[in-house]
Amino acid sequence: MTVSTGSTTGDFRPRRSVLYMPSSNERALEKAKSIPCDGLILDLEDAVAPDAKPMAREAAAAAVGSGEYGTRELTIRVNGIGTQWHDDDIRVAAQAGPDGIVVPKVNTADEVRALVAAIEAAGAPAKTKLWAMVETPEAIFNVRDIATASERLAVLVMGTNDLVKELYAEHVPGRAPLLTSLTLSLLAARAAGVAILDGVYNDVKNAEGFLAEVEQGRQLGFDGKTLIHPGQVEAANAGFAPSESAIDDARGLIEAFESSTGGVVTYNNKMVENLHVESARRTLAIADAIAALS
């Protein structure tokens, strides 16, 4: 089944929980094989010390080629444009052929096009998409151009920690300092028909705060959330999945609409229009795609 991810329609892939894992940590890579997240970001950047980056690069490529991660979407986060590791990261990641290559601090559409050219020149298969991290004021001002710069770009990833730093803001409940950036990026993603992931939640021991941020992200419209700890996976999976009541309501609404013989259609005392039916079908498509993972 297909489901709309914005203004276009394509095959839907659940990305409720996308977990960062340091590629320099062999135990973490092994543990990741059993974590029930929808996706993994095998990290070569922030979580890896400079002297460990070459080894981490090879370990990430080996993990992608192992075939031992089941249905999880596998991506590799390379070091940023202009760093001493970037070109080698792109080359090795592209040749490994993950589902995605995650690039930090993508600021312009020209950078997207240059990244795509480099990925293709390195021999990446068609399935390897670009995931662009949006984490600077410049990127926010350019986010629609970034999102539409290449058909190979599939996902925007919010880098909320860097945005807070760049804005001289603070991490506060409700994320008021970030709401403009989050909503502009969401608008760009939906206009371009690409997926978008919310940023990480740093306080891994604050379960209540994490649940509140998951709920906020779902209400805003994000497809899922990037995570920094395996303990956050279950809550993200539940928070970004349609509830049983939402699934039942979607089925009932579609049935009422399709069985109508004309005139005004109502369901649960609410008027039903085509837009409501489209949303209901999207809910069922998401539920079906999640069920197919198990």
Question: What are the pLDDT digits (tens) for 61-89?
Answer: 999 999 999 999 999 999 999 999 999 99
> Quick one: 36 and 151 in the same domain?
yes
Q: Same domain, yes or no, for 207 and 235? A: yes
Same domain, 197 and 107: yes
Are 181 and 59 members of one domain?
yes
Is the domain of 141 the same as that of 193? Answer: yes
Average pLDDT, stretch 100-108?
98
* 239, 257, 282 - which closes a domain: 239
| CATH number of the structural domain spanning residue 211 | 3.20.20.60
Q: Exposed, middle or buried: residue 271 (CB in 10 Å: 0-12, 13-18, 19+)?
A: exposed
Give the integer Cα–Cα distance in Å for 177 and 173: 10
| 206, 71: one domain | yes
pLDDT confidence of 269, banded at 50, 70, 90?
Answer: confident
| Nearest residue to 64 (alpha-carbon basis) of 93, 27, 34 | 93
**pLDDT at position 3 over 70:** no
> For residue 294, is pLDDT > 90?
no
Taking every pair of C-alpha atoms in the chain, what is the biggest distance, in angstroms? 69
Report CA torsion sign: 112, 1, 237, 212: positive
What is the C-alpha to C-alpha distance for residues 241 and 232, in angstroms, rounded to an integer?
14
Mean local confidence (pLDDT), 149-175: 98
- Domain residue limits at 270: 244-291
Segment 32-54 mean pLDDT: 96
Taking 50 as the threshold, does the pLDDT of residue 10 lie above it? no
**102-125 average pLDDT score:** 98
DSSP per-residue string spanning 153-189: EEEEEE-HHHHHHHHT----TT-GGGHHHHHHHHHHH
Higher pLDDT, 293 or 217: 217
Q: At what angle do helices 160-167 and 179-192 cross, to 10 degrees?
A: 130
Same domain, yes or no, for 168 and 258? Answer: no
User: Residues 234, 258: one domain?
Assistant: no
Query: What residue type is 246 in one-letter code?
Result: A
207 with 234, same domain: the answer is: yes
Output the pTM of the full model: 0.92
Tokens representing 39? 């996706």
Q: How much is the pLDDT for 8?
A: 33
Number of structural domains in the chain: 2
Contact between 149 and 189 (Cβ < 8 Å): no
Confidence of residue 12 (pLDDT cuts 50, 70, 90): confident
Q: Are strands 2-4 and 9-11 parallel, antiparallel or unpaired?
A: antiparallel
Q: Which of 199, 215, 239 is the last residue of a domain?
A: 239
Q: Does one domain contain both 137 and 271? A: no
- Between 5-14, 102-111, 168-177, 253-262, the lowest mean confidence (pLDDT) is in 5-14
Decide: residue 127, CB within 10 A, 0-12 exposed, 13-18 middle, 19+ buried: exposed
Answer yes or no: is pLDDT of 6 > 90.
no
Residues 219 and 283 in one domain: no
Interval 252-258 mean pLDDT: 93
| Domain end marker among 200, 221, 239 | 239
Indicate if 148 and 133 belong to the same structural domain. yes
